[in-house]
Amino acid sequence: MLFRILLLLILFSYKLSSIASAEAPLTAAFIRDHQLWIKRGNQEIQLTQNRYVYNLQWSYDGRFIGYIDGDEKGEKTDLYIYDTKEKESYQPYIRVVTSDFKWSPINNQLAYNDQGILNVTHIKNGRPQGFENVSLGVSGFEWFPNGKEFIVASQSSLRPTGWGPIPIYRIPVDANLAKDKIKPFYTIQTKEPDLFGIDANYFKWSSDGKWVSFLITPTAAWSADSNTLCVLSSQGKHFQSVGKMLEYKDWFKWAPLANQLAYISGEGRFFVENKKMTIADIPTSKQQKEYTPKGYVDIDLEWYSKDLVVVARSKENKEWKEGPVPTMFTSLYAINIRTGEQQQISFPRKNELDEDPQKVKSYLSFFRRKAEEFKGDVWMKDGITGKEHLWIKNVDSAPVFYDPK
């Protein structure tokens, strides 16, 4: 009898384990107490010790995780790579200092900006190792989808008559500082007040690679209140300004299957009002539609499907004028941009807020924290209408998923 009970308990435990594992068969890198961790299915593994980790990025094949080892004052920005196969962290060169790095879309090369010098790593024995110079005078950059070139911005020059235009270049990976290989791609003619800026950054390609979106940012004080979202065709022939928004790179995203750009429109550095989820059809960006109801603000977004956009939404707070900036208690809403139907899909408790929605496979992940805290937990839903459940406890920020396409 006792044997049968033990056998039933073992089988029941195994079944529960299988169910739990099936809840979210995903892989994510995350930060807990400033250290790099990884979660595969239900297993959590700590990968670093005695570091100050931030800015996690997966390589295209999921073998490597790039990250910055910094400090609390923001004075240290050393680039490291964690090799999940060899189970070790290393630097691709003796010391690499950067805060802006990006993996190739086709292999395990890593490009990074070191004080205006764009560099790209070599690949030795399958690992990013060593580097060569690509170009000088670089402010913002991104790989072209072909993995063989970069789109590069250079900050405009201040002249006696004011700030000049912003030059954009198309540069092959093997340029190695050769001027004859560096080709002008487009020149942004800025002017006040309609299209003022001194730099371009946060380049993002549409799903078909025919358009690239980016932000034109003005001088520092002004950029805290207003930046211009723009698009440029892949041949550098057609440029359009789309709208005004804040300098948050996750606040504009391309649709998964169409040349539609979702973004949080609105000026003003405080989130209390004037933050609207807007859809622009590209190239005809004049055909735009706002989906945020009157009396509310949307302050984060994610595409879940070709018709569904998930936003983090809160009530407006126009009464606030001075003093501590009020917390915007956001919960997640799903918006059907085809029918206009909207529904609340996450339900944080009092004094909690949900933010950073991310779609991976069929799942929707989000970061839930208390108002007075920066740390929080990662929650998960299988589908828009699925039941939410806790996936990772006590993390410093939202995780970064490895999601092979």
Range 186-195 average pLDDT: 86
Range 92-115 average pLDDT: 96
Phi then psi for residue 204, to 5 deg, are -140, 130
pLDDT of residue 191: 81
Name the pLDDT band for 24 (thresholds 50, 70, 90). low
Residue 190 in this model has a pLDDT that exceeds 90: no
Residue 102 in this model has a pLDDT that exceeds 80: yes
Phi then psi for residue 14, to 5 deg, are -65, -40
Range 191-202 average pLDDT: 88
Q: From CA 254, how far away is CA 261, in angstroms rounded?
A: 5
Cα maximum dimension of the chain: 93
pLDDT of residue 2: 45
Name the pLDDT band for 84 (thresholds 50, 70, 90). very high
Residue 192 in this model has a pLDDT that exceeds 90: no
Span 212-257, pLDDT tens digits: 999 999 988 888 899 999 999 999 999 999 999 999 999 999 999 9
Q: From CA 190, how far away is CA 192, in angstroms rounded?
A: 7
Q: From CA 47, how far away is CA 40, in angstroms rounded?
A: 13
8 A C-beta contact, residue 188 and residue 200: yes
Range 70-85 average pLDDT: 95
3-state secondary structure of 189: coil
pLDDT of residue 6: 41
Q: From CA 54, how far away is CA 69, in angstroms rounded?
A: 7
DSSP 325-367: PPP---EEEEEETTT--EEE-----TTEEEEEEEEETTEEEEE
Which helix (H) or strand (E) segment is 290 a member of?
Answer: strand 288-290
Residue 16 in this model has a pLDDT that exceeds 70: no
pLDDT of residue 23: 53
> 127 or 322, which is more confident?
127
pLDDT of residue 219: 86
Q: From CA 120, how far away is CA 176, in angstroms rounded?
A: 9
CA-nearest of 351, 357, 370 to 401 is 357
pLDDT of residue 286: 74
Q: From CA 288, how far away is CA 344, in angstroms rounded?
A: 23
Residue 17 in this model has a pLDDT that exceeds 50: no
Name the pLDDT band for 329 (thresholds 50, 70, 90). very high
Burial of 54 (0-12, 13-18, 19+ CB in 10 A): middle
8 A C-beta contact, residue 345 and residue 310: yes
- Spatial strand order of the sheet with 43-46 comes to 43-46, 35-40, 27-32, 400-401
Instruction: Give the DSSP letter of residue 387.
Output: P
Span 388-401, pLDDT tens digits: 999 999 999 999 99
pLDDT of residue 19: 37
3-state secondary structure of 213: strand
Range 12-41 average pLDDT: 73
Look at strands 252-254 and 260-265 and give their pairing.
Answer: antiparallel
Name the pLDDT band for 1 (thresholds 50, 70, 90). very low
Return all residues near 273 (Cβ < 8 A) that are at least 6 apart.
266, 297, 316, 317, 318
- Kindly tell me the sign of the dihedral angle through the C-alpha atoms of 46, 52, 57, 61: negative
- Its pTM stands at 0.92
Phi then psi for residue 223, to 5 deg, are -65, -20
Residue 94 CB neighbour total at 10 angstroms: 6
Q: From CA 381, how far away is CA 388, in angstroms rounded?
A: 5
Residue 142 in this model has a pLDDT that exceeds 60: yes
Which helix (H) or strand (E) segment is 118 a member of?
Answer: strand 117-124
From 79-88, 108-117, 282-291, 370-379, the region with the lowest mean pLDDT: 282-291
